[in-house]
Amino acid sequence: MKPKNQHIIDLAKALFREERSITKLTGWFQIRETAAKNEGKYADLSLERRTAALLHDELKELPLSISDNAVFAGTQRDAFARTYALINPSFRVETFSGYCDPTAVYGDIDPDEEFTKERIEKLRQYTLQTPYVSQLNAMYKKAESYTGEVIYFVEQVTGHLIPEFGTALQYGTKELIATAKAKAETETDAEKKDNLLAFADALACAELLAGRYREIALAKEAAAIAAKDDEKAARFGKLANALARVPMYGARDMFEAIQSFMLLWEIMCIEQAPNPYAFSVGNADRIFEPYRHGMTREDAAALFCHFLVFFNVADRSWAISQNLIVGGRDYDGNDLTNPSSYSLLDAYFEMNLPQPILSVKLHKNTPDKLYEELGRFFFSPGVLTPSLFNDDSLFPILEAKGVDKEDLETYSVAGCQEPLIRGKDNANTTNSWLNLGKILELTISGGVSTITGKKLCDFEKLPPEELLPRLREKFYENVKSSVALMADSANGASRALSNLRVPFLSSFMGGLDYAYDTRDTEHQGTKYNGSGCLIHGLSIVADSFIAVDHLLKERPQDAERLVKALANDFEGDDELREYLLSCPKFGNNIPEVDNEAAEIANKISDLINSTKNYLSNDFRADWSSPTTHLTYGYWVGALPSGRPARDMMNYGVDPLYGSAESGLGMRMLSNMALPFCKMCGGYASHLGIDPKYFPADSFEGKGLQFKERVIEPLFFNPAADGIQPFYLYVNVTTPETLRKLLKNPKKYAPSGVYIVRIHGTFVNFLDLSPDVQQDIIRRLDLASTANIGGNE
Amino acid sequence: MPQNQIKYFQKGFNFSQDGPGNRLVYHLYGCNFRCPWCANPECFAADTKVTAQTVEEVANEILRSRPMFFSGGGVTFTGGEPTLQFEALKELLIIIKEQNIHTAIECNASHPRLCELFPYIDHLMMDLKHPSDAAHKAIVGMGNQTVLDNIAAAASTRQLALRIPLVNGYNTDDACIDGFIGFLSTLPQNPLLTVELISYHEYGKVKWQKHGMEYTVQNGFVPPARLAEIRERFRQAGISTIQT
C-alpha cells in the first residue's frame, strides 16, 4: 500500500491492539438489564412493538464511546460475552455441553463493585422466568435422554443470518421507515400492520445511534481543535459529518457506506445480545463497490482495515464466525470479482486478524489473478486463509432446492459453511445436530450406552449373530426414529426463540415484504426458510459397516466377541481391534467403502431433507462438525471400525484422521464418490497440506499451483461426474511447525497472533484451548494428503 | 485360466516427478539390479509387504482414477523394475491405452523384449548406470549390453527421457564420463530425447537400514564443482542435459 495510507492503517492496528486489551464485556448485561427494567412500560404493546421499543431504550441507555484511533464509529462489543468455547481457555471436551443453557452466560462476568454478584443473580433469575427460557428448558428436559450423550442435540439459533443492508446503504433507513409505514397504512391484517409499525420503530433506532455517536465525534473534534491536532480534528469532523447522514440517508461514498453498514450491524447484534454468533456480511465486495467512485485500491483497502477491526471483540475476538465473502459469478457464469474484492484482500492480509472469517467464491472462470493474490494467504505461515466455495456446484444445488434463479448469485455463507440467500433465507443453520456414531453404538448395544451403562433409548436388542447381518437395516430404523424426535425438539427450540422477536433484523430479511418477523414460527417472514441439521460420523459408520461385513465373511464365529469387545472398549482384545483396523477405510479410493459412505450420505441426507420444521419447510442436510466431532465423539463408545471409545469422530465428510494413508489423490477420489448434490445445508472438509507440495518461488506462482493441484481437480474436474465438491478449507503447514509454535510462541509468533483455520472459521491458534489445539494438529493428517514419491 | 497379477509395494499420486502432470504411480515389486544407491530398496527386500492384484483390478483402479490425471497426467509404472512383470504389465498397458490413459514407465532398460511395450508407452524413462559392461556388472550385478541396445532402439524411434545417476566413487571419473558421452554420441539426433544427470542423494538410505540391509555407498555425493565440470563436458560434446 502507498505510504499516504499508512496513517489510516496504523490507526487500524492501534485500534485492534486497544480492542484486544479489553477483558471485561458487560454491555450485553446492561442491555438485558434495560430490557428487564423497562419491559413493564410497554405491557400494552404487542410483542413485536414492545421489542422495538425496548431496543430503542437499550440504545438510548447504553454507554457509548469512540476511540482516539477510530476512523469510524461503532462496535459490536456490547452484544457479546466472553463465552465461545473454542477460544475459551477453560473449555474442556469432557465438560462441554453445548450452548443450551441461556442463563449460563451470566457466569461469564466476574463480579465486581459495579456488577455485583447480587445484580448478576437478579437478572439471571428474571431471565429464568421469561417464556423464552422456560419453554426452552421444558424442551431440553423432554429431550434429556437423547441429548445427554448426544444421540442428537438441538439449539436455538441466534445470529447465523445474512442481512440485506444494500437497500439501506443506497436509500437510507428513513426511506425504509417510510416504506414500512406506507405499507402499514394499507395493510388490513392487524398483526401484519402491527409488525410493520414495529419494523419502522426499530429502524428509527439507527438515527438514535448515529445521533449519539455524532455528539461524541463533535466533542472529539472540538477537543482536537483546542489541542491544535489538525489530523484528529479533520478525522472526527469527517466522521461527524458522515453520522449526520448515514444510516438515515443513502451513502454517497465508500466512507459513508462503510459507516452506514457498521451502525446497522451494531444495532442488529445488540437486538440479539448476548452472543448472536455468525451473522455474516455476504459479498462485501459487491456491497461496497458501487460506492468506490474511482477510489484507488489502496485507499479503499485502508478503510477496509478499520472495517475488519470492527468484527473483532475484546481480548479474544469473541464475535466469532462472522463471515465475509469476495468473488463469485452470476447466473450466466460471468465473473463478479471487482476492484473492491482485491482491496478487501489487501486489508485482510495487512491486518491478519482473527475475525471476520474470509471466504472466497470460485468458479471455473475465476481469473488467475485472484488465485495469484490468494497465494500470499495460503503460503505465509501464521496468516489467515480463506475457505473456498464452488459456485458452479452451489448454484444447481440451491436451484434444485427451490431458490429462484435471480437469487442464486447472492447466496452467502452464514457462519462456517452453510449457504443461505442474503436477506431472504432463515435457515436456522445450527438448529439440530445428529450423531450417527452414537446411534450406531446404541444400535449394537440395544440402547444402552457403552460409555456410562445408562439405558438411553428403546432401540431393539438383538443377539449378535442376528443383529450384525442386519446392522444396516436396524441402524437406519433407529436413525429414522431419532430424527423424528430430534426434529420435534429442534422445532421446540425455534418456537421458544420466537418469544424473542427481532424487528430490526426482520426489516433486512424480507420483513417489509412479508410483514412478519424472521423468527415467527406461525407465519413465514422470509422468502426462504428451513432448519439445519449437522450430521456427524459419516466415515466412521461407513468404516464400521465394512468392518462388520468382513468379520462376518472372514470370521463369523467372532460376532459375539465383537459386541463384547465394543462394550469393553476393546480392553483385552487387541487382536480383534487390529483386525478391524486393517479392514478397508474410507479415503483410500477403495470402492467398497467409498460406495458405502456415499450410500449413507444419500440415505441420511434424503431423510433429513424430507423432515419438516415448524413451518413445514425442510430441514437441510449439513455434513459439518464444527469441533463437535471432538465433543460429541467424547460420548461415543467403541465402534466396529476399530475406533476406540471417546475418540473423536471423523470431521465433516473427511476420513477419520489416520485412516486415509494413501495420499492426496486417493483421498480426493474417495471424496468425489459422495453425493454433494444432497448436501444442501452445507458440509465441511479440510486438507492439511505440506507446503512442499507447491514449489513455485513466488506467492503468485504458488497460488496458481494451488489452483492447478488442489482446486481444479477437486472443484472443476472435467473428468468427474455429477455435482462436484463445493467447500474446502486448508491449512498449509505441518504438525511440527505448530508444535514448535506452542513450545515457543514468542519466537514463532512475536505479535501473539498466529492464524490457523478450524472448520468454517479461522482463529488465533494461541487463543485456542489446548484440546482444540491438539485437534488441529492431529487433523493435519499429512499422510492423507501426501505426494507419494517415485524413484530418483 | 488365472489372470496375470501385478505385484506392487507402493502406489499413490505424485505430481510431475514420474512423468508429466499428476500421476498415479505404481511401484512394482522385484528388481534384477542391485544398485547400491537404490532409493527404493524395499523393491527387493524380503520383508516388504507386497500387494497382488489382477490386471483387471489394477486397470479398473486406473480407470476410475481418471479425474486425478490432471495437467497431462496419467499412470506411471516404476519399481523396482516394472518389466520384470512383463506379461502382466503388457496386458495392463494394452487395456489402459485403449482407454486413452497417458502411460509412463520408468525402467532400467534391461528387459530383452522391452521394445514390445513401446507402442503402449507415452512417456518412457530409462536409466543408464554405467557405460562399461564390466563395471556395470560389478556394480549392479548385470552387464549393460541389453540396456544400451534398448536405449539405442528407443532413441532412434521415439520419445525417451534418459537418466544418468551420478554417484561419486562409482561413475563420475573422467573415463566414465567419456564413456557416457561416447555412447550418447552414437545415438541419432532426436528432439524427443532428453538426458538428465541426477546427482546422488540419500533418500533411500534409511530404508536400507529399516529392512535390515547394509547401505554400502560411502561419500556418494558429487562435489558441486565436479558436477558443474561434468555438465560442461556434456555440453562441449554437444549433449544438452536437463535438470528437473
Cell numbers representing residue A459 in the block? 432401540
d(CA A451, CA A463): 20
**End-to-end alpha carbon distance in chain A:** 44
Q: Dmax over Cα atoms in chain B, in whole Å?
A: 58
The DSSP call for residue B196 is E
d(CA A301, CA A332): 29
Residue that the C-alpha cell 459490536 belongs to = A76
Distance from CA of A420 to the nearest CA of B (A): 30
- Provide the residue count of chain B: 244
Cell numbers representing residue A145 in the block? 435422554
The DSSP call for residue A709 is I
- Segment B60-78, tens digit of pLDDT: 999 999 999 999 999 999 9
Looking at the complex, does the CB of residue A364 fall below 8 Å from at least one CB of chain B?
A: no
pLDDT computed for residue A97 by the predictor: 66
d(CA A520, CA A500): 10
pLDDT computed for residue A790 by the predictor: 47
Those residues whose C-beta lies under 8 Å from the C-beta of residue A332, and which sit 6 or more positions away, are none
Higher-confidence residue of A543 and A779: namely A543
Q: Which of A81-90, A761-770, B136-145 is predicted with the least confidence, judged by mean pLDDT?
A: A81-90
Nearest to B41 by CA among B166, B213, B218, B170: B213
- Provide the residue count of chain A: 792
d(CA A340, CA A295): 10
d(CA A502, CA A159): 11
Contacts of A786 in chain B (CB under 8 A): 12
Nearest to A536 by CA among A662, A412, A635: A635
Write the Ramachandran bin of B220: left for phi over 0, alpha for psi from -120 to 50, otherwise beta: alpha
pLDDT at A483 over 90: yes
- Segment B201-225, tens digit of pLDDT: 998 899 999 999 999 999 999 999 9
Whether the bond into B80 is cis, omega within 30 of 0: yes
Looking at the complex, does the CB of residue A695 fall below 8 Å from at least one CB of chain B?
A: no
What Cα–Cα distance (Å) separates residue B47 from each residue in B41, B43, B52, B209, B210? 11, 10, 15, 12, 10
pLDDT-based confidence at residue A98 (cuts at 50, 70, 90): low
Contacts of B40 in chain A (CB under 8 A): 791
The verdict on a CB contact (< 8 Å) between A708 and B68 is: no
- Segment A371-397, tens digit of pLDDT: 999 999 999 999 999 999 999 999 999
Those residues whose C-beta lies under 8 Å from the C-beta of residue A572, and which sit 6 or more positions away, are none
Contacts of B61 in chain A (CB under 8 A): 589
d(CA A358, CA A417): 11
Antiparallel, parallel or unpaired: β A528-529 and A425-426: parallel
Instruction: Among B15, B65, B203, select the one facing A669 at the smallest CB separation.
Output: B65
In chain B, what are the domains?
5-14+22-242 (3.20.20.70)
User: Which residue type does A282 have?
Assistant: G
Q: How many CB pairs under 8 A join A and B?
A: 78
Q: Are B155 and B111 in contact (CB under 8 A)?
A: no
Contacts of A664 in chain B (CB under 8 A): 13
Query: To 10 degrees, what angle do helices A297-309 and A339-351 make?
Result: 50
pLDDT computed for residue B241 by the predictor: 94
- Segment A535-563, tens digit of pLDDT: 999 999 999 999 999 999 999 999 999 99
The verdict on a CB contact (< 8 Å) between B14 and A693 is: no
Percent of chain A at pLDDT > 90 equals 87
- Segment B81-99, tens digit of pLDDT: 999 999 999 999 999 999 9
Antiparallel, parallel or unpaired: β B5-15 and B22-28: antiparallel
d(CA A36, CA A47): 14
Percent of chain B at pLDDT > 70 equals 99
The DSSP call for residue A501 is -
- How much is the average pLDDT of B178-185? 97
- How much is the average pLDDT of A654-676? 94
Residue that the C-alpha cell 480407470 belongs to = B63
Cell numbers representing residue A386 in the block? 480463506
HSE (CB half, 13 Å, CA atoms) of A304?
32
Looking at the complex, does the CB of residue A713 fall below 8 Å from at least one CB of chain B?
A: yes
Q: Are B160 and B151 in contact (CB under 8 A)?
A: yes
d(CA A420, CA A408): 9
d(CA B181, CA A645): 64
d(CA A361, CA A356): 16
Q: Centre a 10 Å sphere on the Cβ of residue B49 and count the other Cβ atoms it contains.
A: 8
d(CA B154, CA B142): 20
Mutate which: B11, B38, B70, vs A, most A CBs within 10 A: B70
Helix (H) or strand (E) holding B12: strand B5-15
For residues A154-185, b (16+ Cβ closer than 10 Å) or e, as one string?
A: bbbbbbbbbbbbbbbbeebbbbbbebbeebbe
Nearest to B111 by CA among B132, B83, B88: B83
HSE (CB half, 13 Å, CA atoms) of A227?
11
pLDDT at B167 over 50: yes
Q: Are A247 and A210 in contact (CB under 8 A)?
A: yes
The verdict on a CB contact (< 8 Å) between A663 and B12 is: yes
pLDDT computed for residue B1 by the predictor: 46
- How much is the average pLDDT of A151-174? 96
Looking at the complex, does the CB of residue A786 fall below 8 Å from at least one CB of chain B?
A: yes
Q: Centre a 10 Å sphere on the Cβ of residue B242 and count the other Cβ atoms it contains.
A: 11
pLDDT computed for residue A3 by the predictor: 58
Helices (H), A364-506: 368-379, 391-400, 436-445, 464-467, 471-497, 503-506
Cell numbers representing residue A323 in the block? 463471515
Distance from CA of B40 to the nearest CA of A (A): 7
Backbone angles phi, psi at A272, to 5 degrees: -110, 15
Q: Are A745 and A766 in contact (CB under 8 A)?
A: yes
pLDDT computed for residue A792 by the predictor: 40
ipTM of the modeled complex: 0.90
- Segment A309-360, tens digit of pLDDT: 999 999 988 888 899 999 999 999 999 999 999 999 999 999 999 999 999 9
Mean pLDDT for all residues in chain A:
95
Contacts of B66 in chain A (CB under 8 A): 719
pLDDT computed for residue B48 by the predictor: 95
Mutate which: B11, B15, B43, B108, vs A, most A CBs within 10 A: B15
Instruction: Among A672, A693, A713, select the one facing B70 at the smallest CB separation.
Output: A713
Query: Quick one: three-class SS letters along A424-448?
Result: CEECCCCCEEEEHHHHHHHHHHCCE
pLDDT-based confidence at residue A86 (cuts at 50, 70, 90): low
pLDDT at A791 over 60: no
Nearest-Cα residue of chain A relative to residue B71? A708
Nearest to A681 by CA among A653, A718, A716: A653
Distance from CA of A693 to the nearest CA of B (A): 8
Burial bucket for residue A712 (CB in 10 Å: 0-12, 13-18, 19+): middle
Nearest-Cα residue of chain B relative to residue A695? B15
pLDDT at B118 over 70: yes
d(CA B134, CA A337): 65
Q: Are A656 and A567 in contact (CB under 8 A)?
A: no
pLDDT computed for residue A2 by the predictor: 53
Q: Are A320 and A416 in contact (CB under 8 A)?
A: no
Percent of chain A at pLDDT > 70 equals 98
Q: What is the pTM of this model?
A: 0.94
Instruction: Among B24, B66, B203, select the one facing A719 at the smallest CB separation.
Output: B66
User: Which residue type does B209 have?
Assistant: Q
Cell numbers representing residue A52 in the block? 422495538
Q: Centre a 10 Å sphere on the Cβ of residue B99 and count the other Cβ atoms it contains.
A: 10
The DSSP call for residue A336 is -
